[in-house]
Structure 1
């Protein structure tokens, strides 16, 4: 899992305030840090909690985890977010109701400031990771573009060669037809000459006999 997939930072706006959610994703659980203007709250969404909520919603744990990532890595309009009494809630808007899809108890992080996750440093790290990933895909696209043009050039050369070969075959075929035609004409001419010569001989014989 890449850094930008393992760690996400999302700005969430509620009815009363806005927060930043820093989440460290694991295979079947995650850790959440909720940043307010002055305080930091933290909580852990365990695998047992994942199993419990997925059963309540009658979906698989994998599908529920995908739902979590969809609604906690972006501010979604079809969800309501709420933080009150030490609990962070995410609720999905339905046609005529609001369904609580999950909640997480959080507590204040009382550790020294220096030991708390620095949101700015995390964002800078994510930005570097995304920059490297963007560069990687940019280079990959350039290589694919070069390969495409190389294949296009090879295809054009092949087509030109094919056209030249077809032209050469057509010319040979026409030459053979012309050669055959000329031979047929010569044969017919020779036959006419033979007939004409034979008639002359017959006439001469008849004339001499008289």
Structure 2
């Protein structure tokens, strides 16, 4: 359900391994980042920065960004609110702080724009194979899935060697379908990562 009062929004994140709701009292729709965003797109860079810094050991933004790593992606079963205050988000990225061990779910756009993780390419691959199981997952998605043990080394090599191939044998196509089903099951099983 969309928040009716934009001055008070609740954000779900993990602090110390426990899921908590944080009340955000400011949802100013600007980035304050030298013009990277439009005033009306609903993403608040300052709010995201404040939340990420609160979950980090570093006290400055540039150092804090280096503490974080993308560890999971998923699609929310219900609309959620990003740490920046943007609502609704469906494509969630779970990031973890490698220094503090804290974890947070952040929207796909903020992960890409501010933390530099190309999660948009992973979500594009998921959408592509959901629409057409004959398609291959993208190279970036294959790397991400391999690093997390979702696909094994042989499946990764198969994806890389057949990525641009359009005319697959029956056996190759069957293998691609099996890998794609495995990837889609991972995303579905994770729900909101």
TM-score (norm 2): 0.24
- Bigger relative contact order (CA 8 A; separation at least 6): 2
Higher Cα Rg, which structure: 1
Between Structure 1 and Structure 2, which shows a larger proportion of helix residues? 1
TM-score (norm 1): 0.23
